Amino acid sequence: MAARVPPLSMKKGGGAVSSAAAGLAGTSIGVIGLGIMGGAMAEALLATGHAVCGYDVAAHARQRLKNTGGRPLASSDAVAASAEVVITSLASVAALDDVVSRIVGVGRDRLRTRILIETSTLPLGDKMRAMAALRRVGIATLDCPVSGTAVRMKEGAWTIFASGSRAALRRILPLLHVFTRNVPYVGAYGNGTKMKLIANHLVAIYNVAAAESLTFARKMGLDPRGVLALFGPSPVVGNGVLRLRGAQMVARKYAPATMKVEVWQKDMKVIGDMARAVDCPVPLFASCIPIYNAAMAQGLAVADTASVHEVLAGMAGIATAQSRDG
Amino acid sequence: MAARVPPLSMKKGGGAVSSAAAGLAGTSIGVIGLGIMGGAMAEALLATGHAVCGYDVAAHARQRLKNTGGRPLASSDAVAASAEVVITSLASVAALDDVVSRIVGVGRDRLRTRILIETSTLPLGDKMRAMAALRRVGIATLDCPVSGTAVRMKEGAWTIFASGSRAALRRILPLLHVFTRNVPYVGAYGNGTKMKLIANHLVAIYNVAAAESLTFARKMGLDPRGVLALFGPSPVVGNGVLRLRGAQMVARKYAPATMKVEVWQKDMKVIGDMARAVDCPVPLFASCIPIYNAAMAQGLAVADTASVHEVLAGMAGIATAQSRDG
């Protein structure tokens, strides 16, 4: 169906590494979108000796960049006029459209950006449109969604699904290696987003499965701590979602959130929209949707997605946790 | 809710170990139910120098025991009149009821069995009834369901969820260690079955999730081999079910089965019945039921449960595998 693409890099290893010595020392880097993820990437680049400019619509995010040694600029177009390589980390299609139109509007004479690394989780159609528009002004775009939370970057636990031009990727790979050594090359532009959707589809299910499992355990009179201790490390059913989210479910504490329900709802929509676009029945994923919707309805919007355990526990008649979101 | 019970033994390590030297050398052991699992246990005991008698309703199973050096007997009661420790590995409640009534009927004067290790996956209520009946004739019953297939015993990959009297368990632990070093003690009689249901509940979901994920990957034009290579070992979403069953789904070959759909349907029913018995909503598990039922309907009864991938692929309009069950 699709050609198998051998990984360009799937090395594993811990944490950030200096890349200033790896041939990109003189490259000016811009980060557009300085939220939790973009801000973390900017800081990691600064910490490894790179010059970083950036922009965010939020003044406090620009201030944070300044505080950590970066150079905040007044707009996306100012970043594109300054940085050879731009990383985008954006929360919505509207933001991506705005950034792209401003970069395109800079004009070839002032435009300095040659490679744009799009790291957001956004619908593929919108990412394709962005790539085409940027190509017309000579920018090579890479589709490189990130799997992992900002906190976990320091543990070297991110995976970046790199897709697009191999030549462009080779050029900027040392930058991505500042964030993680796990940068599998997954093929043509867009495959990165597809792989991210595969990962998120499983995470969506595994998280509700963990919540259902621990609710079932409680209803049978088992100690949920013992259940998690037994199955979290199991070579058969153990996985990172069960271990990370399961610990919050056992404690019934969902703050601080590694992924807020309200943010995750955007990712759920992207998965569901893609499934519809490619005519794929996803009955298991579909049965998770009402559980996340219920979490929103029950005041858990800013709680971690592990809080779906409260939805199922509530359905099961288990008394509400004393302090379920913090 | 329930007291946390520290594990008596959760050591990990490879394969079978000799226990003949560990204080049970003179103990006569009986195995009732010499199917795939019971037969494998009998052979492992024989291979480590134990004297093993046994019974199965099927003549070929008794012959197999004889061929490997064991002593087949004519009935369950004959085993109970001969062996101090009996292991039961049975496929149905009817079989368990029959075995228990025959053992009880032996009479105290002839009855030699003191400890019975019930390793089957059967409804908890039936296991409780068996334990009570056996207690009246002086037999201590342990509820010790096995997680793992016969093939995987040799790799040391079984987990035995041990529950019941600690004193009785200590006495027979060297026997269980012949099968695996992974023998967590999970508390009062019945907790073993509860833990097994927790494991099976997750396996039921993870298997369909893997099938749905790889179908989604195919529909998006991704190479399913690349997807499995990326996510099978992932510290976030990777797990044993995805790796083992995913490989069959990628190859679209479901024989030889590690777990046949028709056998798994019994385990599905036990999970669903328990959920109803304890009033636990299990929406995710419930959405898996029609997928397994469809596999039965589509001629996949003796194929591996990984064949639910064919159900979802068929729904998704993906052409039938040339040889999907062998």
CATH number of the domain residue B296 falls in: 1.10.1040.10
Q: Are residues A170 and A33 in the same domain?
A: yes
End position of a domain, from candidates B150, B171, B188: B188
Give a yes or no: residue A9 inside a domain: no
Q: Are residues B70 and B179 in the same domain?
A: yes
Q: Are residues A105 and A237 in the same domain?
A: no
Biggest CA–CA distance in chain A, Å, is: 70
**pLDDT bucket at A188, cuts 50 / 70 / 90:** very high
Alpha-helical segments (H) within chain A: 36-47, 59-67, 76-80, 93-104, 124-135, 150-153, 166-179, 191-219, 224-231, 240-251, 261-277, 283-297, 308-315
pLDDT at A108: 87
Give a yes or no: residue B20 inside a domain: no
Give a yes or no: residue B325 inside a domain: no
Q: Which two tokens stand for residue B90?
A: 């049975």
Give a yes or no: residue B321 inside a domain: no
Give a yes or no: residue A22 inside a domain: no
End position of a domain, from candidates A133, A162, A189: A189
Q: Are residues B91 and B132 in the same domain?
A: yes
CATH number of the domain residue B165 falls in: 3.40.50.720
What's the mean per-residue pLDDT of chain A?
Answer: 91
Range of the domain at B311: 193-315
Please tell me which residue of chain B has the smallest CA distance to A200. Answer: B237
Average pLDDT on A83-112 reads 96
Q: Are residues B120 and B231 in the same domain?
A: no
The predicted complex's ipTM stands at 0.90
Closest in A159, A213, A238 to B201, CB measured: A213
Cα-to-chain-centroid distance, residue A222: 35
Q: Are residues A174 and A35 in the same domain?
A: yes
- Nearest Cα neighbor of A211 from B281, B207, B193, B274 is B281
Contacts of A3 in chain B (CB under 8 A): 223
Q: Are A239 and B237 in contact (CB under 8 A)?
A: yes
Give a yes or no: residue B7 inside a domain: no
pLDDT at B154: 83
* A194·B221 Cβ contact <8 A: yes
- For residue range A38-77, list pLDDT tens digits in order: 999 999 999 999 999 999 999 999 999 999 999 999 999 9
Distance CA A256, CA A254 (A): 6
Q: Are residues B34 and B83 in the same domain?
A: yes
Give a yes or no: residue A289 inside a domain: yes
Give a yes or no: residue B22 inside a domain: no
Has residue A18 got a pLDDT over 70? no
Q: Are residues A109 and A254 in the same domain?
A: no
Closest in A195, A205, A223 to B1, CB measured: A223
CA angle B120, B183, B67 (to 5 degrees): 55
Q: Are residues A273 and A206 in the same domain?
A: yes
Q: Are residues A228 and A151 in the same domain?
A: no
Has residue A322 got a pLDDT over 80? no
Q: Are residues B231 and B162 in the same domain?
A: no
Q: Are residues A46 and A185 in the same domain?
A: yes
**CA distances (Å), B174 to each of A38, A197, B45, B60, B160, in order?**
55, 47, 11, 29, 13
Please tell me which residue of chain B has the smallest CA distance to A221. Answer: B2
Cis omega (within 30 of 0) for bond into B256: yes
pLDDT at A23: 56
Closest in B198, B222, B234 to A217, CB measured: B198
Segments in chain B below pLDDT 50: 1-21, 323-326
pLDDT at B322: 57
End position of a domain, from candidates A140, A161, A189: A189
> Touching check for A237 and chain B: CB below 8 Å?
yes
Q: How many CB atoms lie within 10 A of CB A58?
A: 11
Q: How many domains does chain B have?
A: 2
- For residue range A102-138, list pLDDT tens digits in order: 999 998 899 999 999 999 999 999 999 999 999 999 9
Q: How many Cβ pairs closer than 8 A exist between chain A and B?
A: 212
